[in-house]
Structure 1
Amino acid sequence: MKNILVLLLGDPIVKFNNKEVYFPYKKSEGLFYYVCINKKITREEAINIFWADNDETSARKNLRDAIYKIKKTLCDDIFSSVSKSVIEFNSDINIEIDIDSITPSNIINKYTGDFLGNFLIKNCYDFENWVSGKKEEYKKIYTNSVSKKVNELVNIGDFKSIQKYSNILIDNDPYNEKTYRYLMKIYALSGDYNKAIKLYYDLTDILKRELDIGPEPNSKKMFKEILKLKDTSIMTDDSKVYFYGRYNELYAINNNINNFLTTSGTSMLITGEAGIGKTSLINKIILSLNVEKNIVLRSVCYNAEEDFFLKPWHSIFSILGNYVKSEKIHLSSAQEQIISYVFPTFNNEIMSTKFDNIEQIDTTRYEIAVDAIIHLLEKLSDKKNIIFVFDDLQWMDKMSRLLLSNIVFHFKNKKVLFIGAYRDDFENTLSSFIVPLASKDLITKIKLHRFSFEETRNIVSEFLSPNSIDNNLITNIYNDTEGNALFLIELLKVVKEKGYTRELSSKATNIIKSRIMDLTKDEKTLLNNISLFFDKVSIDCLKILVSFDELYIFDIIESLQEKHLIQELITDKDIFYSFTHQKIREYIYECQSVGKKNILHEKIGLYFEECFKSSGNKYLYANLIYHFEKCGNVYKALKYKVENLTNYYTVYHETYPVFYSKANYFTESEDIFSVEQKLSEISKELNNLSETDTEFLKIKMEVSYLSGRYYISTGEYEIGLKKIDSSMRIAEKLENNIYLLNNYKQMIFYCIQVNDIPVMYKYINKSLKLLEKNDNIEERGTILRLKGLYYIKTKKYDDATKLLNESLVIFSSLNQISNKYTLSISACYNYLGQMNKGIGNYNIAYDYFKQSIDLCTENEITKGLDIFYSNLGQVLYEMKKYEESEEYIYKSISLFKKNGTIWGRDIAECYAAMIELNKKNVNEAYLHYKKASEFAKKINNPKSLILSEKVRKLLI
């Protein structure tokens, strides 16, 4: 069989039966190559490409001659004889063409040069254009594949092999500065700053020599940044921070941040074991960020604060508050008040004055604050990109994570990016936060591993003098530290100063011990006192623990800073000090005697208590509980735990009647805050104390009340009622009428949920009798409103109208003094609407429900709107205004889902099912019925059970 081999990459080569052949002239050779690529061409096409300037007769003659020469050079039957107007190869001849087997994956190995190399046909412009196009086409495939190969080498850390491919990229596009910058970045990330710098000088030289121009501003900027990195890359004294390796991680992070700045990137989670270098990597990332183009907001989470909602955001909103002022960002008064209420440091001026509508803020659910925060971030991100950085995410409370999750979901990594770090042994704890974001490709994980033996060798070589290094030393250092970044660097500092000794480096605690063994007595004293604080400490706080002069304290702190044991943290008004690493703090703390620590923690706790009494700053709860627990003051620790939990429950849960379903604004499956777990923990602590103690009984009363509210809200009625009964009995014993009334109201709300009319009446009367002894006009208005609801349920409509109007008068009068009773007024209108709906006065009911809704929307209150929308939708359905009814019913369901409440949703779902049945959407109707039935059974409300059964029969 005849075999022809054609190589078109590089200078072309043609072989016939393994013997190289040569064409007699260029146009016949060019025609052959043209057919090799296109496979099938017409004679007209060939003439237009090679003999466009000739007349038709001579052109056809020249074409015939060229075909004849090809046949003579190769073989007579090389072309098919099927059609005279078409030129194509004979399928019986085996023709192997290198281009035909080229793919993006193999072109690196097969690309031997540009398409047709230096082959040229003079004055044949159409052919030249075709060749140029093909050159670019194959070169582009080749350079893309080389770039991909470079990325692969970067990902596996094989920087030694990159040189070969970087030369290819430059040789193929010698004036492309983007390629130079790309390669400079890679060399810089690998730590080979000299190659990066040389590349810049090569670029400068070729641009000047060939084009008489200089590099672009971006190239110059990168060059300056690389010079800066080179200057700080190797530690030469204790004033510099050492950072080694992590080339793959740095490349991935920087690449992602660049994508974020230009289009959209992905939020990042850096994970690894304790001491692996997560914080160091974050510090390096932050240093590389351009603060002129980005707002960088960093916070560190602490173990002692994980039970305190939104604590990590406190410092961030302090910074944002200042930025809003300096940039004159306009927010509505309501938005500013809402954010300032949740984060007091956002605007201290607002928090120093009394809100006109404080109940509005008190009763606003968490989503209102989130909406205001997102609105703020949208305004800020119009000016600069926002990058949130959170270290030690494993200690972040669930509510903070949910706020962060909501922000990421909203912005989808456009204009707002999140970088976090956490210990990988907390993977399961954080899965509810990570998985939803990862499933939407909004976040990526970057795993940090221990340094390998070879990496450890490189670190030792850079850190220590070459004369002091041998293989045994490297092996000992690696075995002692096992590649853990923190222990490795700490050990190297000791070796550099004192030489290697097995006694000091056998365990991690010895490394830390060696750092503090040469401190002066006063330095150790101050360090011991700073270790008592889990996060940071101010000078004022230190002054209560030591008798040193304030200036002398500063001198000691500066000395500790020079030794890299203490770091300074500067906020708006205060300066704090903390350890450079928690491992050091933990060691120093554990070395002190228990008795001494108890005394000092008591002293600190009392100091924070005075601060709390004067400021009411809820962020002090973490400090109060931590120090009182540490000193063994069980009562005060429990007192502030309960206060903190009550504060959370009051702000972030609606008052009853609602049904809390362990759902929330962010997801329908994750609890915002583990109330049950915290209550259980507090209850166990209470069980270990004496029940005869008055302080104990007061705490037990509060905890039982909170537990009762919680369990009733989750449908666990038996245990919930038992807890309320316990709280009620203690309140009677202590003659605490505030909690006695709270428990009575809770029983009324429970009765509303389950429609227990007689018991509801019993506790209404108990409440009114209690108010006769200790009258409170606000509470009286609430109880009268609830009694009005009771009369509606018992069909005594005149009595109901009278009481609801009395309640309206009370709340309207109070609202004149302080505009904080709008929701109470809306609730009265809602009950009047329910009453008129029940007796068939639909138009009147419509007006009352509309008034409730308008009052709430005008005052930016969403609490209660789910019920009000549902009631309005129901009355519109009864009026046969189905389209309007559908609008409000679905509005209410949307809010029920958003608020995470079930009480009232059962009825709304029933009406949604009936609406869908009217539209013949049986499947949709069935889905709403299933939801309604599920909620009705959970609540055990006879009214909703009857209605859901009615819907079931309609579906049959």
Structure 2
Amino acid sequence: MDKINVHLLGRPYVELNGKRMNFPYKKAEGFFYYLCVKKNATREEIIYVLWGSDNENVGRKNLREAVYQIKKLMGKEILVTEGHTGISLNPDYMPVIDWDKVGEGYIPDSEEEVFLSHFHIKNCYEFEEWVSSMQEQYNEYIIKAVRSRLHEADKVKDVNQIQKYGNILIKRDPYNEELYKEIMEIYAAGGNYNMAIKLYYDLEKILAEDLGVEPSGEITGLFHRIFNVKGNVAQTGESWNVSFVGRTQEIYMISQCISGAGQRGKPQCVAIAGEEGVGKTALLNKVAQMVKGYQRVTLHAACYPEEKEYFLRPWNDIFWEIEQCVENGIFESSLIQEERQQIRQLLKGAASDGGEALHQPSFQSIERITIEMCRKITQRYKMVLFLDDVQWMDTMSFQLLTRLLLTVGTENILFICTYDKNSDQAVTEAFERLIRQDLIRILVIEPFNRLETEELLHKYLPQLNQEEKDKIYEMSEGNGFFLMEMINLIKEKGFTLEISPKANHVIKARLAGLPEIENEVLNCMSVFPEKIAIEELELLLPELDRLSLIRILEKLQERYLIKESLVGWNIYYEFVHRVFREYIYDRQSMGQRRIYHHMLAEYYENQGKT
């Protein structure tokens, strides 16, 4: 049987047993290509597409001639006539057609491939319309497949693949600003600011040269935002900070919230949540640095556990910074002169009460004056408040912050804050009204994964082997603070898995204030190097019934000290960070540890006998 290969992608041609065939005339060639796509068609359909301008008799005659020429060229078996109505390719003599592999998920090997490229039939408008529709369908297949690959590459942050598929999309739709915007945002979210900026310049050039127009205000605004982020998050010349490395996606998302370029379409506040040491404050400081490029007035306050019972303590810092803005000439002294005096008098009166709660009229007065003061400021300047560790903020401060946002609006004033996810429920309840009205976005930042940790270790400790990197990851669990402390200690002493004095103080503070029974459960858990079943804990804590033990374990999970894992149908418990286990184990006396080990050894020995 003869082997026929039909190439419809790019410049079309047909090979018979490896030799190119020459058609006697264009319409016969077009007729064959049409059948190669359709596989079967009615005579009326073919006549309309190729000989639509002729009368019916002439059209039928021309079709018969075309059928004869195709059979003469490729063999009479190639076509099958279906009575007097239809014509089809012979399924038993089907040629190999490259179009048959086109469908959803198809991406061409060559970017220049176009369906029936440069193939035209003079004065055959119906055929040209059909070719155009097929080219459009072909393009849609490719764009859909390439866009899917682009998003897959974005998920794993493969810059080379993002660039490859982004370029394919742009070549196929070079004037589509929405496409440029999408790819620019993908680049920027991955920290590839220069590539995003270059893409904008490419768009600007092609629009000017081909269409004589400029990019829209929307994409120009995106360009300026990316340019600003790039200029303000650069690490050059700064002391290195592991906690911030790799947070490009988070900082770009925050820039979207500040500028109102996110899904909501309006500015949003941001609450950065995460475990202790994950890098929340480092990210907050970088955002504060970035906001300088937005020409906004920034005010800062930090919250501390020992000040939680002092009403409006963080706002004292905010008011003090407003005073500094006046002294430094950022605000005109006359702009808020009256409100500043009133605030000073009210706070002085509250302080003279000996730390007691503010009376309701006093708080209402402070609230009213603060809102009026911020309203006056935001008529001329946009403001951003930066609040660190708001889990330690008092109830009145939360109320004032919420009221201010709801009254003045996020278009004029925003806040960016951090909080320990150990206090997630309390903080989200305090922000309930803002969350309900979509005025705040919660951004949870996670510890570094194994790959990110290895990249950081390769950058700062390139001498480490794979086994040492694995041990550091297992010890730190990707926590930025612990990782940074371990890197500093290894730089000083050589490879070690010691816990630094600074890390010891942090863990000690984290465990301070735990009830005695919770500490006892942690002590028992630390005896086990890996996961522990509840039955094993019951062995070391015989005075506790199972229900009480489960409640204690749940409490420790809420404090993010331990976590629960399921292996098959069995539930196990383990420390969130290995450094917690090491610290708790080392703090116990040798005698206490020996008692636990003896109890376990006796239990396992008896188990072995039975």
- Cα drift, residue 477 of structure 1: 3.2
3-state SS of paired residue (1:450): coil
1:118 aligns with 117
Amino acid at match of 2:484: I
- 1:482 corresponds, among 477, 482, 490, to 477
TM-score normalised per structure 2: 0.56
- Cα drift, residue 13 of structure 1: 10
1:108 to 1:300, Cα distance in 2 relative to 1, 3 A: farther
1:507 aligns with 499
Amino acid at match of 1:249: E
- Cα drift, residue 276 of structure 1: 0.7
Say if 1:273 and 1:424, in contact at 8 Å, map to a contact too. Answer: yes
- Cα drift, residue 283 of structure 1: 1.9
3-state SS of paired residue (1:253): helix
Structure 2 distance, partners of 1:210, 1:62, is 48
2:266 equivalent to 1:264: yes
Deviations 1:444-474 (A, max 9, x none): 332222223332221122123x3x3333442
Which protein has greater RCO, CA pairs closer than 8 Å, 6+ apart? Answer: 2
3-state SS of paired residue (1:107): coil
1:482 to 1:109, Cα distance in 2 relative to 1, 3 A: same
Tell me how large the CA RMSD over aligned residues is: 5.9
1:193 to 1:313, Cα distance in 2 relative to 1, 3 A: same
Say if 2:270 and 2:417, in contact at 8 Å, map to a contact too. Answer: yes
Deviations 1:191-213 (A, max 9, x none): 5678779x669949996998799
1:271 to 1:26, Cα distance in 2 relative to 1, 3 A: same
- 1:428 corresponds, among 421, 425, 428, to 425
Higher share of residues assigned helix: 1
1:31 to 1:212, Cα distance in 2 relative to 1, 3 A: closer
2:20 equivalent to 1:25: no
Moved more, 155-164 or 446-455: 155-164
Deviations 1:385-415 (A, max 9, x none): 5443322121111222233334455577555
Structure 2 distance, partners of 1:40, 1:375, is 78
1:310 to 1:30, Cα distance in 2 relative to 1, 3 A: farther
- 1:463 corresponds, among 452, 455, 460, to 460
Amino acid at match of 2:171: D
2:289 aligns with 287
Deviations 1:467-518 (A, max 9, x none): x33334424433443322112113323333x23253xx522425589xxxxx
Deviations 1:804-850 (A, max 9, x none): xxxxxxxxxxxxxxxxxxxxxxxxxxxxxxxxxxxxxxxxxxxxxxx
3-state SS of paired residue (1:162): helix
3-state SS of paired residue (1:264): coil
Say if 1:301 and 1:392, in contact at 8 Å, map to a contact too. Answer: yes
3-state SS of paired residue (1:289): helix
Say if 2:7 and 2:98, in contact at 8 Å, map to a contact too. Answer: yes
Structure 2 distance, partners of 1:68, 1:586, is 92
Say if 1:480 and 1:507, in contact at 8 Å, map to a contact too. Answer: no
Amino acid at match of 1:506: E
3-state SS of paired residue (2:401): helix
1:244 aligns with 245
Structure 1 distance, partners of 2:404, 2:304, is 22
Q: Counterparts in 2 of 1:19-98, with a 5 A limit?
A: 24-25=27-28, 28=31, 58=54, 64=60, 74-77=79-82
Structure 2 distance, partners of 1:397, 1:79, is 88
Structure 1 gaps, min length 5 = 82-86, 352-360, 514-582, 588-956
- Cα drift, residue 36 of structure 1: 9.8
Deviations 1:306-360 (A, max 9, x none): 2223322333345557779856699899xx54x86457699x9xx9xxxxxxxxx
3-state SS of paired residue (2:314): helix
Q: Counterparts in 2 of 1:80-479, with a 5 A limit?
A: 107-109=104-106, 116-118=115-117, 120-121=119-120, 122=122, 135=135, 139=139, 142-143=142-143, 146-147=146-147, 149-157=149-157, 159=159, 161-173=161-173, 183=183, 186-187=186-187, 189-190=189-190, 203=202, 228=231, 232=235, 238=239, 243-260=244-261, 263-264=265-266, 266-319=268-321, 337=339, 341-342=342-343, 364=361, 370=367, 385-409=382-406, 413-464=410-461, 466=462, 468-479=463-474
- Cα drift, residue 254 of structure 1: 3.9
3-state SS of paired residue (2:494): coil
Count of matched residue positions in the alignment of Structure 1 and Structure 2: 466
Structure 1 distance, partners of 2:408, 2:88, is 57
Structure 2 gaps, min length 5 = 71-78, 350-357, 511-610
Amino acid at match of 2:422: D
Structure 1 distance, partners of 2:322, 2:159, is 41
Deviations 1:787-820 (A, max 9, x none): xxxxxxxxxxxxxxxxxxxxxxxxxxxxxxxxxx
1:615 aligns with none
1:41 to 1:275, Cα distance in 2 relative to 1, 3 A: farther
Amino acid at match of 2:154: V
Higher share of residues assigned strand: 2
1:65 to 1:290, Cα distance in 2 relative to 1, 3 A: farther
Structure 2 distance, partners of 1:344, 1:143, is 65
Structure 1 distance, partners of 2:57, 2:379, is 70
Amino acid at match of 1:154: D
1:285 to 1:67, Cα distance in 2 relative to 1, 3 A: farther
Amino acid at match of 1:491: M
Structure 1 distance, partners of 2:370, 2:230, is 40
Say if 2:382 and 2:413, in contact at 8 Å, map to a contact too. Answer: yes
Deviations 1:178-236 (A, max 9, x none): 76676566456545678779x66994999699879999877986896687579626x7x
Structure 2 distance, partners of 1:295, 1:247, is 23
- Cα drift, residue 10 of structure 1: 6.7
- Cα drift, residue 136 of structure 1: 5.5
Deviations 1:905-949 (A, max 9, x none): xxxxxxxxxxxxxxxxxxxxxxxxxxxxxxxxxxxxxxxxxxxxx
3-state SS of paired residue (1:308): coil
Deviations 1:614-657 (A, max 9, x none): xxxxxxxxxxxxxxxxxxxxxxxxxxxxxxxxxxxxxxxxxxxx
3-state SS of paired residue (1:245): coil
Say if 1:299 and 1:315, in contact at 8 Å, map to a contact too. Answer: yes
Deviations 1:68-94 (A, max 9, x none): 67877754349979xxxxx999xxxx9
Amino acid at match of 2:235: T
2:548 aligns with none
Structure 2 distance, partners of 1:272, 1:307, is 24
Structure 1 distance, partners of 2:259, 2:398, is 25
Structure 1 distance, partners of 2:138, 2:292, is 38
3-state SS of paired residue (2:81): coil
1:171 to 1:481, Cα distance in 2 relative to 1, 3 A: same
Say if 1:321 and 1:345, in contact at 8 Å, map to a contact too. Answer: no
Which of these two proteins has the greater Rg computed from alpha carbons? 1
1:586 to 1:119, Cα distance in 2 relative to 1, 3 A: same
- Cα drift, residue 139 of structure 1: 3.9
Structure 2 distance, partners of 1:362, 1:281, is 37
1:575 aligns with none
Structure 1 distance, partners of 2:162, 2:482, is 32
1:495 aligns with 490
